[in-house]
Each structure stands twice: as structure tokens, then as C-alpha cells.
Amino acid sequence: MSHVMNVYLSFDIEVWCGSWDDLDGRFPASFERYVYGRSPKGDYALPKTLEILAKNGLKGVFFVEPLFAARFGVDKLATIVELIRSGGHDIQLHLHPEWSDELRPLPFPGASRKRQHLAYYTLEEQITLVRLGLDLLAQVGCTGVSAFRAGSFACNADTYRALYACGIGIDSSLNEVAANSGPDLRGTLDFTRPQAFEGVAILPMTVFRDGTGRLRPAQLGACSFAELSEALESAYESGTEHFVLLSHNFEMLRQDSRVPDGIVVGRFEALCRYLGMHAERFRVGAMDTPLVIRRADGARELAKVSMGATLRRHGEQLARRILG
């Protein structure tokens, strides 16, 4: 085929403290881990991600979660933004509203209790949080934000109304395989196709059928390189226009550890090398321009991958458990 498929290497950039207890005591070490990922082999969080992208001439879409900065200061947010901006990457807005009750002052009166998902907030509260996120990013030089992703993909219909009210025209919060994603939109929207809703263009998280026929999200930590490359090829051959991949700033580290996860590192290196080598078919870019949403072809099937590619993932998972 002769078309070029738009590929979005998207990264959710977050800082977590492991517990909501003793946040002030936990934050410094958590910031070091989630932003830098220091290890005896080098820095395997944001610095390694940026290094691999640069090596292959690729630009990523970095959805940065800024609410923590309303508790710990915008200088920490500036550090994250400056790292990303140094590579010329796209910076967009990510929100985990469970930070709301930890902020001083509270962003609104009802923020005094812990609520994890954006869908648990009223329209007015969501507008307040989106505007707060935009303001925090603007304080560190990020203006003109055009795209959004809800934490844990947990959007609802009001999220789109809030985004429209705040001037954000692109969303990437729908995820067919995330149970908390769009609970009031299932059966109304197609969670696997680009579309428009409430004045906002939607680029859902890409899902594909693995070798067993099950739906799988195109996430670095959840797929083998073989699955990701075959899914890209399958989507391209079907005429797909937009393919959204996901990773996080911490995915190249072993869970609850400062040790690099060699399997995921190798997977990301292989993926970026593959995309860089096939730029004539895969346009890896930003979410910073208005999208033209064409009518979806309802007969078109989702991308599929082979059983061998899926067995590769199972083998990698087994190796990871053995290695610890």
C-alpha cells in the first residue's frame, strides 16, 4: 500500500510515592526513581527513553501529569518538562485527579476526599482540574496544549465537555480493554476508531487481536516486540490512519525496583529501530495539530498478530519471573 500511517509513541509521565502516607518524606526518592530511574547501568526512566528516541530520530508524545506540582512545587515539573523539551518532543496534558485532596489549598471544596478516577468528578470539577493542569504546565513554559489523556484512561462523557470548555481539541483516553475507561460511553462510542464527540477529536488507545484472538493494548510493557511490529504491519495493510502506542516513564525499570528491565529495554530499542527504518510507511509524530476524522469503515477488522508473536510475549514474561 502507498499510504503513510500516523504512529504516536505516547508516554504517560507520572510521579508516584508508593503510598499516600508520609508524602513529603517519600517524594524526593520517588521523584528520583520516576524521573531519572538511576541505576548502576545508567538512568533508565526519562533519560533512557529520550536517548533511544533520539538515536532513532523519533519524536514522542509526552502526556505529563502536573498536579503533583501544586503540592511539591513547579520547579520539579520544570525539571521534567525541560528534559522532554530538550529533545524537541510533544508535551501534552495527563491528569491523575487522586492528587486533588493532597493539594494545598484544595482546588475546590469537594476535593477533601480521595477519588481515584476523573469519571468520579462532576463536570465543573473536571473543568477546574483541567484548567489547573493547564495553568501548572503554562507556569513552566508549556502553552498551547492541544491533547489530553485521563489517568488510567478513566474518562467519561463529561470529560469531553470539560476538554471542549478548556480549549483542548484532541483526546486519547478511550481504551477498549481498560474497565474504567468511558463507563457511560460504551455502546455509544467506538473505542477502537478515531471519531469526534462533544467537539473533541478522539484517538483511542490502539488495541489488536493477539495470537489467541484476545484483545491486547499496544503497550510496551504488555506486548512482545514481535506483537507490536506485526500489529503495526497489520494495521498498515488494512488502511488504518492512526496507531497509538503507550509506555510510561517507569516501564524500563523492574517493578518496585531501581534495576533496569532488560527485556523491556530491548523491546523498546527494537521498536524504535523498526519505526526509524520504516519511516516511508510510519509517520511518528505529535498530537499538536487538528485532526481530520474520516468516517470509520465498520467492516474493517482490528489488527491481528500471529500465535508465534504472542508466545514470544509469554516466554518473555516467564523469563522475567525467573530473573526476578
- Host domain of residue 198: 5-323
Closest CA to 204 of 186, 222, 221, 220: 186
Contact indicator for 315, 220 with CB cutoff of 8 Å: no
Q: Residue 324: its pLDDT value, please? A: 59
List, in sequence order, the alpha helices (H) in 114-207. Answer: 123-139, 157-165
* pLDDT tens-digit map of 205-234: 999 999 999 999 999 999 999 999 999 999
DSSP letter string, 256-319: TSSSB-HHHHHHHHHHHHHHHHTTTTEEE--S-S----PPP-TTPPPPB--HHHHHHHHHHHHH
Residue with C-alpha cell 492512526?
Answer: 242
Length of the chain equals 324
pLDDT exceeds cutoff 90 at 101: yes
Q: What is the mean pLDDT of residues 95-102?
A: 98
Distance from C-alpha of 37 to C-alpha of 92, rounded to nearest angstrom: 22
Q: In the prediction, which pLDDT does 299 show?
A: 44
Cβ-count burial 156-194 (b if 16+ within 10 Å, e if not): bbbbbbbbbbbebbbbbbbbbbbebbbeebeeebebbbb
Separation between Cα atoms, residue 227 and residue 222, nearest integer Å: 10
Is residue 296 predicted with pLDDT exceeding 90?
Answer: no
Give the single-character DSSP code of 36.
I
Lowest-pLDDT range of 30-39, 69-78, 118-127, 314-323: 314-323
Q: Would you give the distance in Å from CA 170 to the centre of its chain?
A: 14
pTM of the entire predicted model: 0.96
Q: What is the mean pLDDT of residues 71-76?
A: 97
Instruction: Tell me: pLDDT of 271 over 70.
Output: yes
What single-letter amino acid sits at 297? D
Q: Cell numbers for 320, please give them.
A: 522475567
Query: Tens digit of pLDDT for each residue in 135-170?
Result: 999 999 999 999 999 999 999 999 999 999 999 999
Mean pLDDT of 85-103: 97
Asked if 46 and 54 touch (Cβ cutoff 8 Å), the reply is no
Identify the CATH number of the domain in which residue 235 sits.
Answer: 3.20.20.370
- Quote the number of domains for the chain: 1
Nine cell digits for residue 8: 504516536
